[in-house]
Amino acid sequence: MKFSDEFESRFAEMLTHYPTKRSALVPTLLYAQDEIGHLSDEVIAELARRVDLTELEVRNVISYYSMLTTKPRGKYNVQVCTNIACMLRGGEELLDHCKKKLDVGHKGTTGDGMFTLEEVECIGACSWAPAVQVNYDFHENLTTDKLDKVLDEYKKKGTQ
Amino acid sequence: MAARINNQEINNQQFQMASLVSHPDEVKVVSRRFGQGATDIDRYLALDGYKAVQKALSMKPDDIITQVKESGLRGRGGAGFNAGLKWSFVPKQSAKPKYILCNGDESEPGTCKDRLIFEHDPHSVIEGVMIAGIAVGSHTGYIYIRGEYRYLSVIMQKAIRDAYAKGFLGKNIFGSGYDFDVYWHGGAGAYEVGEESALMESLEGKRGIPRIRPPFPAVVGLWGGPTVINNAETLASVPHIILGGADWYAKLGTPKNGGTRLFCLSGHLVKPGVYELPMGYNLKKMIYEVGGGIPNGRALKAVVPGGSSTPVLTVDEIDIPMDFDSVGKAGSMLGSGGVVVLDDTTCIVKFALRTMKFYRHESCGWCIPCREGTDWLEKTLTRFHNGGGLKKDIDNIQYLAENMLGRTFCPLGDAAAMPTIAFVKKFRKEFEDHLEGRPCPFEKAGAELAAV
Ligand SMILES: Cc1cc2nc3c(=O)[nH]c(=O)nc-3n(C[C@H](O)[C@H](O)[C@H](O)COP(=O)(O)O)c2cc1C
Ligand code: FES
């Protein structure tokens, strides 16, 4: 199990921030997932060992948090907010548009592994609705046309 | 081709910042440094940064608490509890370390203000955490930021590093002999984790499940130590109060509701955005003047005044001052500052359904009335919106919601029930219009509108 140097130094530092090791768990899981793509059995075993928990205890934590996943996702996770502020300004239409364009449903991944689609709850962009987050990038005040351009950009970047 | 995220890339990337708006009625306190480059510590210092904490170090801790109490600063996370009063509950002597925990989980639908504070003025949050710490005799603070806000975590981690590099954090801060550490912490997607006791569970590396109270966090909190939990905007307001004085701050607002707050205007408005307005600003004016009114020649139908958990207000109920007590008197809550505006093309049943779908998804499942109640309500509202509703369902929805109130460890159950009760009570006619196989009248109106 090999993580990046940045991961290792952040993890080592975080352990010094808390009186218990497991306190570092939640953010560490997310950083690990970022590097490996998903929380594989191997990652879970490794992190459980590092914070002195059983694998079951770590899985218990993982299943609680919506951003954490034990299954691989596409290169770009397209998260469409359909919560109230986005719904009023066309969030559902954006989701339908993505479903058609990408030919996948909620949490589905395109055949080429490029995109995963996810309907998500409020992402804190209500005043700039409707909004979509692709991995960690926010895209706001969207229309279907603007979203098409955004997705095309990612596709281009992803095939380079 | 698995998703691999290069954090180095995120660190170096130029972020696409959320766009700022402005209005002449704004009174900029918390947003004073927005757009001024204050993420840079030297710029922050040039804009009066870290002066308040130095002043606080020269004050008696009790005087800091008194100042904050008298300023009328009330919690911006939703409940609106007087911040100074909360701090005063922390025991003076404690065998266990005391902690300050900044709540930056921001996930109440309609709310997007803490994001701007972290984006534009991260040091003000650090400074607020430090002052709270000095006031209650704590030496450690945590700033918890929701996982989705990765770019803000990058900004905050850098701000903390810069503050350490200048010697503002760590041992003997500003030569005072006082030690104070501030650490960043990140979430991984969960609304419930914004609830104060679940927030502590999450920080301790567990599932975000609420704790029974009492004991309250001020007495038994993180790892059993006394803990002050405040919203990011609450803490970012503190340095301004220490510098400007309690009196000045209190007078910006209305009695017992000091200062200003960031209002997140969203929904059917010409100019949605985050505006800083004095406490007590008139809601009608906020919608029609600050927010520019309702677009496309439509009329206003309803307003959710303080985030998705607050009871809806009808057109006749919006001529009110936006402070905690006035909105409370009008039967709703000022909540987290998320003002969601609905025009007359909006189907209230659908809106109620989307709200409930959120709470069902976010219920952590710990308490049965919340877990089962939100599930039943979502199912009933789904059936209802699809035309399969029966007249008795309307009363059942209300009955079920009323029986969730106050029966859970944390207020998520209430947050789901309160808006539902208001939707049924205030818009009963719309529920009746969906009965017995009739299609949603608004979907039709929408379709006709699109065809015109
Ligand atoms: C389900 C639920 C979610 C909450 N989410 C948040 C949140 O995201 N941010 C926040 O500051 N407060 C949130 N709160 C309120 C906190 O429990 C707590 O009251 C607040 O952080 C205290 O800070 P304040 O007094 O400065 O407002 C939430 C409460 C509940 C019941
Ligand atoms: S409702 Fe979509 S970002 Fe808040």
The SS3 call for residue B416 is helix
Tokens standing for residue B3: 């998703």
Residues 79-138 on A with a CB inside 8 Å of B are 82-85, 87-89, 112-114, 116, 121-129, 133, 135-138
Answer yes or no: do A30 and B351 touch at CB < 8 A. Answer: no
Fold exhibited by the domain A76-159 = Glutaredoxin (3.40.30)
What is the rounded average pLDDT of the residues B320-340?
98
The 10 Å Cβ neighbour count of residue B192 is 27
φ, ψ for residue B103 (rounded to 5)?
-90, 105
What percentage of chain B has pLDDT greater than the value 70? Answer: 94
CA distance B152 to B232: 13
Q: Distance between the two ends of chain A, CA-based, in angstroms?
A: 27
Q: In angstroms, what is the span from residue B78 Cα to ligand 1's centroid?
A: 6
What is the rounded average pLDDT of the residues A31-44?
97
What is the rounded average pLDDT of the residues A100-124?
98
Whether A116 shows a pLDDT value over 50: the answer reads yes
Higher pLDDT, B10 or A88: A88
Contact B159, B232 (CB under 8 A): no
Axis-axis angle for helices B368-383, B412-426 (nearest 10): 30
Whether B250 shows a pLDDT value over 90: the answer reads yes
Contact B389, B436 (CB under 8 A): yes
CA distance B303 to B318: 8
**Integer CA distances (angstroms), B155 to B37, B145, B178, B257, in order:** 12, 11, 26, 31
Using alpha carbons, select from B205, B170, B161, B171 the residue that is nearest to residue B185.
B205
CA distance B56 to A143: 48
Q: Which residues contact B120 (CB under 8 A, 6 or more apart)?
A: B31, B33, B34, B35, B36, B38, B39
CATH of domain A5-62: 1.10.10
Atom number of ligand 1 nearest to Cα B106 = 8
**Radius of gyration from C-alpha coordinates of chain B:** 22
User: What pLDDT is recorded for position A140?
Assistant: 97
User: What pLDDT is recorded for position B448?
Assistant: 46
CA distance B274 to A124: 12
Question: Looking at chain A, which residues constitute the CATH 3.40.30.10 domain(s)?
Answer: 76-159
The SS3 call for residue B13 is coil
Q: Which pTM does this prediction carry? A: 0.96
> For residue B405, is it left (φ>0), alpha (ψ between -120 and 50) or beta?
beta
Q: Which residues contact B162 (CB under 8 A, 6 or more apart)?
A: B41
Query: In chain A, which residue's Cα lies nearest the Cα of B355?
Result: A84
What is the rounded average pLDDT of the residues B71-77?
98
Higher pLDDT, B109 or B19: B109
Query: In chain A, which residue's Cα lies nearest the Cα of B347?
Result: A88
Q: In angstroms, what is the span from residue B175 Cα to ligand 1's centroid?
A: 34
CA distance B165 to B351: 49
Per-residue DSSP letters for B163-229?
A: HHHTTSSBSSGGGSS--BEEEEEE--S-SGGGSHHHHHHHHTTS---PPPSSSPTTTS-GGGS-EEE
Nearest CB neighbour to B147, from listed A38, A61, A67 = A67
- Interval B366-386: pLDDT, tens: 999 999 999 999 999 999 999
Domains of chain B: 26-252 (3.40.50.11540), 260-343 (3.10.20.600), 348-451 (1.20.1440.230)
User: What pLDDT is recorded for position B387?
Assistant: 87
Question: Looking at chain A, which residues constitute the CATH 1.10.10 domain(s)?
Answer: 5-62
Tokens standing for residue B218: 């001020």
Indicate the pairing of strand B338-343 with strand B281-282: unpaired
For ligand 2, say whether the CB of A134 is within 6 Å of any of its atoms.
Answer: no
Place of tokens 């803000």: B152
CA distance B78 to B59: 29
CA distance B432 to B261: 38
The SS3 call for residue B92 is coil
Answer yes or no: do B188 and A67 touch at CB < 8 A. Answer: yes
For B331-396, what is the HEC assignment?
CCCCCCCEEEEEECCCCHHHHHHHHHHHHHHHCCCCCHHHHHHHHHHHHHHHHHHHHHCCHHHHHH
